[in-house]
Structure 1
Amino acid sequence: MKIREYKNACVWDSGRFVKKSFYVKDNSFFGGNFNEKEVETIDLEGKYVLPGFSDSHAHVLGVGIKKLTYDVSNNSFDEIFERKDEIIIGRGWERIENEKLFDELNSMVILIRKCGHVAFLNKKSQEFLNIDRYYIFEEELEKIWNFLPEEFFYRAFKVGEREFLKHGITSVHSDDFHGISFNLLERLLKDSKLRIFEKLYTNTPWNFEYRDYGVSKIIGIKIFADGSLGGKTAYLSKPYKNTNGYGVFTLPKNFKEIVSFAEKNNLQVCVHAIGDEALSKTIKAFGKYSGHRIIHAQLVKESDFEKLRAFNLSVQPHFFFEDLEIVDNINLENILIYPFRRMYEEGILLSFSSDGPVSPIDPKYVINAALKLGFSFKDAILLYTESSGNIIKEKIGRIAPNYLADFVVYSDKNLTKLEKVFVNGELVYDTFTLEP
């Protein structure tokens, strides 16, 4: 394959844009010697080039499903009552005032909360799913997806893929193994133009195969230690205010067996832990093992902070601002809240993520929140590119020799107009001519 030279580019380099050329050979950036006859030259005419953004925790399939279903993120259900579909699925609510109103509809109504950890079912849905209450939590949500056809999920994944690419995101540490077969997951990964680092949601990881699928691969195992703050299922050391509830602790009983399997097979165990007590118990459960990942870590006991050095973290700076009202329901004595900047300043290895579709997947949304927390723009870019590769030892996120050629082209230095997206050296999204 010829070497491609991209000239007249303003390339992101150590926190600033530098006018220079860069080279791509096969699927990587290239910095060796070559014959001029081997070079194909592309003039970028002063456009601004960054390494592709990499979201270290999101749900490609979930983003697509949300686009294909009804948006109830403003607690507005008017459209739901106007529809006459057999099945109505929506996502995004934070509270439902009158559950019985939905029982008047002839449709099965399934409304997933913003956090993705709680779902509302009207009476017709309850009857179909053989459930006798309006709300279901955590793993019970799997029942919702089991009756949807495979092609719905395939279409949703392609829609999700497009959403990430059009925001300049070239890779996602995704979590998609919910309500679908492993064969379908393999098909999704193999056909993806977006680079997927899949975290396989399972308590029996030895039942599956781990390998590369095109530009994607399965890199780890996803485990839940608790739920969400909004659903009051995040596991706390003190009860939620005005309740007797501490949340739920969901780390599987065979966790040590899962970690042992991961160690032997070079896989990363990625644990969702939001509440301070869930984090404490997770750290203790890992024991001597290090190098695995904690996702969220929003509430941290002061006594646990130093212990985080043994792990890699995926964090969401925007959650600090989204959760201000929710945190009022929590006793915060001796608890650090969203201490992401302190983690970074003290050398704990972390990376940024959106947790889409819980929050917007636009990197600028996440980066703007990080700036408000005191991160510099340079560090915010680093934490949304190279650091996402560092936490899984993948060479992504830098425009430098031997790094994978994932990069994005903007027309302006303020990153307001995305023009092109490249994954593995191939053009996969072009705002003028291509649709993924």
Structure 2
Amino acid sequence: MAADDGAALTIREVLAPDTIFANGNILTVDDRFSVANAVAVRDGRFMAVGTTKDVLPLAGPRTNIVDLEGRTVLPGLIDTHAHVERAGLEKCTVRLNDVRSVREALGRIAEYAATLRKGEWIRGGQWHPVAQLAEGRFLTRKELDSVCPDNPVSLPIGHFTLVNSHALALAGITKNTLDPAGGTIHRDELTGEPSGILEEAAEDLVQSLLPGWSDQQRDEQLLSAMRLFNKFGLTSAISAAVGPETFRAHQRVRMSGRASLRISAMFAPTGSLNPDVTIDEWEAFFSKIGVASDFGDSWLSLSGVKLQIDGGMTLRTAAMRDGYPGDPLYKGTIVIEPTRFNALVTIANRYGWRVGVHAVGDAAIDRVLDAYQLADGERSIKGRRFVIIHGSLMRRDQMERAKRLDVRVDAQTTFLWDKAGAVAGFLGKATADRAFPMRTMIDVMGLDAVGQGTDYPINSLNPFVNMYVMVTRRDKDGILYGASERITREEAIRLYTSAASRYSFSEKQIGSIETGKYADMIVISDNIMRIPDDLIKDIQVLRTIVEGQIVHEGTDHSRLGDA
């Protein structure tokens, strides 16, 4: 029966696509890296992928036809390591990620303090004073006291938190306070008084005092964060360290139907990457929780449990096989006793949980591989995709060992964009040159065993800046670091799409533009395969589509002739 009388729909109309995107340069990122011209989307999935000539006839009278006008399309991008919830904190924290001097930072904090009542906490967003300030150092407690004596201050950096005297007093931290296990209260060398720098587990002494967010605040923060990720073409993310309260917020957002970013969470059961529970309590938790890794759906799932073994190479705390230049006895920081660490990994594995461990230095990576091998002896980890998170200074012998254990690495080459100088300053230029050795990783382990993320907000969320660094090995000042570790543009794209999807065992659902997969894709301003290397970092996202729905539309600033 015809549909023109409104009484019924024809079979063709029932089966017709909701939308057809035509006349594009569509990089499908399938096994052959095929290029298509058009895709048809129906019920949130790709119904057809091919030429405009072949796909357009599928249209029904209600099909929306979108002319891409030759624009380049990629699958939705996947960040395999980002602290998603922190992207929603901008309105609740003092913004310091763009300050360039101690004076400017203190001025920004003073301005923010003026908007608060006496006694309210000043919380900081993520920043990196050593890398971004002209002085190349942390702020001192006395400097913070000078601009906000009446408000406690907590400024996280990543492995460190800077605090003022008010915050130290509230936490009861004095010169007589002992360092907590896995942490350090930095002190004045002359007086022994706390300096206002708290490292690793010591951060919790102050951060545990911060007032919690309401459910509504958490939900709105997550929604804001998702919109920011969508702006950069991200349709999925591995959220790097999700505590129980944040996971509950993700669940509320998912159940409300408002999510615009697929989340697979690396779970931190106690909220800490070095869990403050006994081994018996750790086992009791996993034996009773009743779920394991990869439980969930296409919008929200549990990817594994997250732990930490060392610090960071940009803060002189990465655990190294060899001593640091100028200080051969110092080899970085191991934040957890090895026997305890091995037990945490083994127990999680025993109950079906995949493990991902923050490991930056080569000595730290050795310890993680040791723990994984020990766990494998009890219950095989093969095919389970256990993760080395960062793997920043991984060596070839470790890559070969990881391959034998079937362990993947999820790296963040974008650290080199604005922090390579800090790495070179702490560890030497030769070590900075071998940081994030993506060429070697791909050659030894295989591209599907590797992924890329940003560790946002420690680094820029922009995936095209990250791809630029992977392809050129140049930082923001044009300095070259390790030319032999350059990779191709196709490989860089795959690390954000088809390879990245494997982290959460989602490769049959997302990561490429193929019939039957979810219609996650982005339209970008320029042809990433043709423009000069230097312009990759400037690519803009014109449209982000998740499950067939537009979740972001940007402004076209493309260069004529490059599309």
TM-score range with shorter-chain normalisation? 0.7 to 0.9
Corresponding letter in the other structure for 2:173: I
> How far is the alpha carbon of 1:187 from its aligned partner?
2.6
Q: Aligned residue for 1:276?
A: 362
- Residue 109 of structure 1 pairs with residue 109 of structure 2: no
2:331 to 234, 246, 249: 246
In the TM superposition, what whole-angstrom CA distance separates every residue of 1:105-146 from its partner, at most 9, and x where no partner exists? 211111122xx1100110111122333331222234345265
CA contact (8 A) 1:405 1:423 kept: yes
DSSP-derived class of the 1:6 partner: strand
Cα distance, 1:189–1:108 mapped onto 2, change above 3 Å:
farther
CA contact (8 A) 2:26 2:36 kept: yes
CA contact (8 A) 2:348 2:355 kept: no
Alignment of 1:151-162 (within 5 A): 151-162=216-227
CA contact (8 A) 1:106 1:124 kept: yes
2:106 to 71, 77, 86: 77
- In 1, the alpha carbon distance for the partners of 2:408 and 2:460 equals 23
CA contact (8 A) 1:215 1:424 kept: no
- In 1, the alpha carbon distance for the partners of 2:345 and 2:232 equals 35
Corresponding letter in the other structure for 1:72: L
Q: Aligned residue for 1:10?
A: 25
- In 1, the alpha carbon distance for the partners of 2:346 and 2:299 equals 26
- In 2, the alpha carbon distance for the partners of 1:17 and 1:367 equals 20
> How far is the alpha carbon of 1:170 from its aligned partner?
0.5
Q: Aligned residue for 1:350?
A: 450
Q: Aligned residue for 2:268?
A: 201
- Residue 382 of structure 1 pairs with residue 494 of structure 2: yes
DSSP-derived class of the 1:323 partner: helix
DSSP-derived class of the 1:11 partner: strand
Q: Comparing 122-131 with 86-95, which one deviates more in the overlay?
A: 86-95
Cα distance, 1:256–1:30 mapped onto 2, change above 3 Å:
farther
In the TM superposition, what whole-angstrom CA distance separates every residue of 1:336-394 from its partner, at most 9, and x where no partner exists? 53322111123432111111101000111101101113211121111111110123321
Higher relative strand content: 1
- In 1, the alpha carbon distance for the partners of 2:368 and 2:441 equals 18
Corresponding letter in the other structure for 2:553: D
Greater relative contact order, per chain length (Cα 8 Å cut-off, separation 6+): 1
Q: Aligned residue for 1:139?
A: 201
CA contact (8 A) 2:316 2:426 kept: no
Corresponding letter in the other structure for 1:7: A
Corresponding letter in the other structure for 1:406: D
Corresponding letter in the other structure for 1:337: A
CA contact (8 A) 2:24 2:38 kept: yes
- In 1, the alpha carbon distance for the partners of 2:350 and 2:25 equals 42
- In 1, the alpha carbon distance for the partners of 2:72 and 2:249 equals 37
Cα distance, 1:66–1:283 mapped onto 2, change above 3 Å:
farther
> How far is the alpha carbon of 1:240 from its aligned partner?
3.0
- In 2, the alpha carbon distance for the partners of 1:171 and 1:181 equals 17
Instruction: For structure 1, list consecutive stretches of 5 or more residues without a partner in the other structure.
Output: none
Instruction: For structure 2, list consecutive stretches of 5 or more residues without a partner in the other structure.
Output: 1-13, 50-54, 131-136, 175-193, 270-274, 276-281, 474-485, 529-537, 556-563
Higher relative helix content: 2
Cα distance, 1:66–1:137 mapped onto 2, change above 3 Å:
farther
DSSP-derived class of the 1:71 partner: coil
The structure whose Rg is larger is 2
Alignment of 1:183-202 (within 5 A): 183-190=248-255, 191-202=258-269
Cα distance, 1:213–1:379 mapped onto 2, change above 3 Å:
closer
Give the count of matched residue pairs: 428
- In 1, the alpha carbon distance for the partners of 2:237 and 2:161 equals 25
1:56 to 62, 80, 85: 80
DSSP-derived class of the 2:301 partner: strand
Q: Aligned residue for 2:212?
A: 148
Q: Aligned residue for 2:389?
A: 295
- In 2, the alpha carbon distance for the partners of 1:159 and 1:36 equals 35
1:88 to 122, 130, 135: 122
When the two chains are superposed, the root-mean-square deviation of aligned CA atoms in Å is 3.1
Cα distance, 1:423–1:338 mapped onto 2, change above 3 Å:
same
CA contact (8 A) 2:85 2:225 kept: yes
Corresponding letter in the other structure for 1:314: D
- Residue 423 of structure 1 pairs with residue 423 of structure 2: no
DSSP-derived class of the 1:409 partner: strand
> How far is the alpha carbon of 1:330 from its aligned partner?
2.9
- In 2, the alpha carbon distance for the partners of 1:36 and 1:119 equals 57
- In 2, the alpha carbon distance for the partners of 1:17 and 1:364 equals 21
> How far is the alpha carbon of 1:283 from its aligned partner?
0.2
Alignment of 1:114-129 (within 5 A): 116-129=158-171
Corresponding letter in the other structure for 1:228: G
Q: Aligned residue for 1:44?
A: 67
> How far is the alpha carbon of 1:97 from its aligned partner?
4.8
DSSP-derived class of the 2:81 partner: strand
Cα distance, 1:255–1:153 mapped onto 2, change above 3 Å:
farther
Q: Aligned residue for 2:4?
A: none
DSSP-derived class of the 2:26 partner: strand
CA contact (8 A) 1:8 1:19 kept: no
CA contact (8 A) 1:54 1:384 kept: yes
Cα distance, 1:69–1:379 mapped onto 2, change above 3 Å:
same
- Residue 405 of structure 1 pairs with residue 519 of structure 2: yes
CA contact (8 A) 2:46 2:517 kept: yes
Q: Comparing 386-395 with 178-187, which one deviates more in the overlay?
A: 178-187
Cα distance, 1:127–1:178 mapped onto 2, change above 3 Å:
farther
DSSP-derived class of the 1:366 partner: helix
- In 1, the alpha carbon distance for the partners of 2:166 and 2:517 equals 53
> How far is the alpha carbon of 1:159 from its aligned partner?
2.3
The normalised TM-score by structure 1 is 0.87
- Residue 27 of structure 1 pairs with residue 44 of structure 2: yes
- In 2, the alpha carbon distance for the partners of 1:301 and 1:358 equals 24
- In 1, the alpha carbon distance for the partners of 2:93 and 2:244 equals 16
- In 1, the alpha carbon distance for the partners of 2:527 and 2:396 equals 40
Cα distance, 1:235–1:38 mapped onto 2, change above 3 Å:
farther
> How far is the alpha carbon of 1:259 from its aligned partner?
4.2
